[in-house]
Amino acid sequence: MAVKTKGTHLYFINPDVTPEVIKVGAVNQISGINASRDQIETTDLDSDAHTYEAGLLSPGNASFTIQFDPKNAGHKKLYDLYVSGSVLKWALGWSDGTDAAVLDGVDNTIFDLPTTRSWIQFDGYASDVPFDFSLNNVVTSTVAVQISGFPQLTPKA
């Protein structure tokens, strides 16, 4: 069964002195949460064609477009963390549930994600937060996040 995008939510953990989960508001689009597999060439001089083995995964760049509002505390915190270069923990909650991401009760630097919806978790830093001031539009920013490690998919229970 297809999963609709309406109701998808993006969260990150603010790693400040008192960590907190922040929901990114006014998101229009999310894409590129991936890691492509490198190739290792194993061709030798007797080969008739190139041969390869699977190599390491190379994390990609996730991106999401938001209607940026400097008065939105989550947008401002995201911008501040972009400036600092902090690696953040991210969680994308699919629309097959509505429960929000929360901090783990023992380790408040990681998520405790409800099993009532599907999730993609990844680590990454905001590598770009450009502003777009187009005519007859609202101010937007297509935030780029350099993923570190492999994104983890957790299906709804």
- Per-residue confidence band for 85, with pLDDT thresholds at 50, 70 and 90: very high
Helix (H, G, I), strand (E, B) or coil at 16: coil
- Give me the domain span that covers residue 61: 10-35+53-154
* CATH code of residue 95: 4.10.410
> Is residue 139 assigned to a domain?
yes
Give the mean pLDDT of the chain.
97
d(CA 111, CA 105): 9
> Is residue 2 assigned to a domain?
no
pLDDT at 56 over 90: yes
> Is residue 131 assigned to a domain?
yes
> Is residue 40 assigned to a domain?
no
Count of CB atoms situated within 10 Å of the CB of 114 = 16
Q: Say what the pTM is.
A: 0.94
